[in-house]
Amino acid sequence: MSFEIKVPAVGESITEATIGEWQKQSGDHVERDDVLLVLETDKASVEVVAETAGVLTTKAEEGDTVAIGAVVGTIEESEGGKKAPSPTATDSTPTAKRSEVETHPDLKSHLSPATRRVVEENHLDPSRIEGTGRGGRLTKEDAEKVAKSGGPSAPQQAPTPQQAPPLPTPKKAVENTETREKMTTIRKRIAERLVSAQHEAAILTTFNEIDMTNAMALRAKYKDTFKEKYGISLGFMGLFVKASIEALKMYPRVNAFIDGDEVVYHNYQNVGIAVSTPKGLMVPVIRNTESLSVAEIELAIRHYALKARDGKISIDDLNGGTFTISNGGVFGSLMSTPILNPPQSGILGMHKIEDRPVAVNGQVEIRPMMYVALSYDHRMVDGKESVGFLVKIKEGIEDPARLLLEI
């Protein structure tokens, strides 16, 4: 019996996906619940598993864009969990003709997109590489193996008497090469949203600086006790989320959206935390942060950081945010202008903590300082509100007791 492998529905607004990688190859025997392939959508990666055991036949290649519901392969059930039998000499196709097809030297037309990319990037001659795939087909692994070994190099031509002598080359010459790769669906979607934000919103950024002395002292004093009780380190992000919640309560327009000719206010704060992953920037959302403690916020941040690292962020994890915080300081950024995450009206940018001379009570002191930035949609938020918003966060971080007392 043959079972079709279809592209699953992965979200209301998603109509297509890209085949990122086949975990199993055509002709492989698979077991029920084995991961067959990874689909990339404009929001997250989705694994497709086998619904039954049998022999896999693929009908789409890596890099193909496929519609939701499209058939990308089949699984043929085989008795006893064995592969389907290979053709024998009793087949209707003559043995000599079948052998000719299996050893045909023109292998380039049979390369998969992944294999072709390795061949072209490393300037390999596919006709001189022995294929180990089905029917003698060249696989990605075959090409990578030859590429790692160096591969055959093109012969150097000696200059003729009429030619100018060659230019001297450095002892450690590096070959000038270019590499091209197709943008992932996630990366394309990120690009579209960033351009959309720039075109549709009136984005301005205001800055302030925060003396981190008291926050760092609080962290140093209680970090061991905090970790012993909650099993997680006490970071600054939990304090900044808590400070942002109080600022959003005081300035609700920063937590609101524009919808046509209406303003949509939210009586809750769903804070998105920007996370950098190998596939691009993602913003998982911590819901109802106004009801969470600093410890619960830190646990939620850790939860999403691990999911992002393992590529397990789901579409539901990314939806519903009303405000975003991005911490460029972890990469060493001293100052930046974060860009809005539509349809939100505000995003807070945290930056590197750096010792700087500042005036304190008429004296110059060295203090650990951090620049913070608020990018906002000026259609929704006035300059006075944006400045007041950052001042509220500054007060909460410089005097953490305010966060406990909510003042």
Same domain, residue pair 225 and 340: yes
Same domain, residue pair 74 and 129: no
Is residue 162 assigned to a domain?
no
> Using one digit for the tens of pLDDT, what is the confidence trace for 200-220?
889 999 999 999 999 999 999
As for how many domains the chain has, the answer is 3
Same domain, residue pair 71 and 118: no
Whole-number pLDDT of residue 100: 38
Same domain, residue pair 143 and 59: no
Query: Does 153 have pLDDT greater than 70?
Result: no
Query: Which of the following is catalytic: 64, 125, 224, 382?
Result: 382
Q: Which of 29, 48, 81 is the last residue of a domain?
A: 81
Picking from 248, 299, 302, the residue whose alpha carbon sits closest to that of residue 271 is: 248
| Cα(225)–Cα(35) distance, integer angstroms | 42
**DSSP track, 151-205:** -PPPPPPPPPTTSPPPPP--TT---------PPPHHHHHHHHHHHHHHHHS-EEE
Taking every pair of C-alpha atoms in the chain, what is the biggest distance, in angstroms?
98
Query: Does 164 have pLDDT greater than 50?
Result: yes
Is residue 163 assigned to a domain?
no
The chain-wide mean pLDDT, for the chain, equals 82
| Cα(397)–Cα(325) distance, integer angstroms | 15
Is residue 156 assigned to a domain?
no
Same domain, residue pair 201 and 305: yes
**Is the previous residue joined to 343 through a cis bond, with omega within 30 degrees of 0?**
yes
Q: Which of 50, 81, 112 is the last residue of a domain?
A: 81
Is residue 307 assigned to a domain?
yes
Is residue 90 assigned to a domain?
no
Q: Which of 125, 149, 173 is the last residue of a domain?
A: 149
| Cα(290)–Cα(269) distance, integer angstroms | 6
Residue 388: pLDDT band (50, 70, 90) is very high
Query: Which of the following is catalytic: 64, 316, 378, 399?
Result: 378
For residues 76-87, average pLDDT: 54
Same domain, residue pair 114 and 201: no
For residues 170-175, average pLDDT: 64
Query: Does 129 have pLDDT greater than 60?
Result: yes
Is residue 290 assigned to a domain?
yes
Among 126-140, 249-263, 304-318, 373-387, the range scoring the smallest mean pLDDT is: 126-140
Picking from 282, 270, 255, 261, the residue whose alpha carbon sits closest to that of residue 376 is: 255
CATH number for the domain spanning 377: value is 3.30.559.10
> Using one digit for the tens of pLDDT, what is the confidence trace for 269-319?
999 999 887 777 789 999 999 999 999 999 999 999 888 888 888 888 988
CATH number for the domain spanning 140: value is 4.10.320.10
Contacts of residue 272, defined as CB under 8 A and 6 or more positions apart, other chains included, come to 283, 284, 285, 286, 318, 321, 323, 324, 325, 341, 344
| Cα(251)–Cα(253) distance, integer angstroms | 6
Is residue 160 assigned to a domain?
no
Asked if residues 116 and 109 have their Cβ atoms less than 8 Å apart, the reply is no
- Domain extent, residue 42, equals 2-81
| Cα(151)–Cα(166) distance, integer angstroms | 25
Same domain, residue pair 265 and 365: yes
Query: What percent of the chain shows pLDDT beyond 70?
Result: 83
Same domain, residue pair 211 and 302: yes
Query: Does 260 have pLDDT greater than 60?
Result: yes
> Using one digit for the tens of pLDDT, what is the confidence trace for 218-229?
999 999 999 999
Told to judge if 382 belongs to the known catalytic residues of this protein, a careful annotator would answer yes
For residues 182-211, average pLDDT: 84
Same domain, residue pair 269 and 143: no
Residue 89 DSSP label: T
Residue 355, beta-bridge partner list: 368
Is residue 11 assigned to a domain?
yes
Same domain, residue pair 73 and 125: no
Same domain, residue pair 388 and 290: yes
Asked if residues 53 and 32 have their Cβ atoms less than 8 Å apart, the reply is yes
Picking from 372, 367, 360, 366, the residue whose alpha carbon sits closest to that of residue 396 is: 372
CATH number for the domain spanning 41: value is 2.40.50.100
Tokens of 314: 């789901």
Asked if residues 46 and 317 have their Cβ atoms less than 8 Å apart, the reply is no
Picking from 329, 335, 241, 254, the residue whose alpha carbon sits closest to that of residue 293 is: 241
Same domain, residue pair 143 and 74: no
Told to judge if 378 belongs to the known catalytic residues of this protein, a careful annotator would answer yes
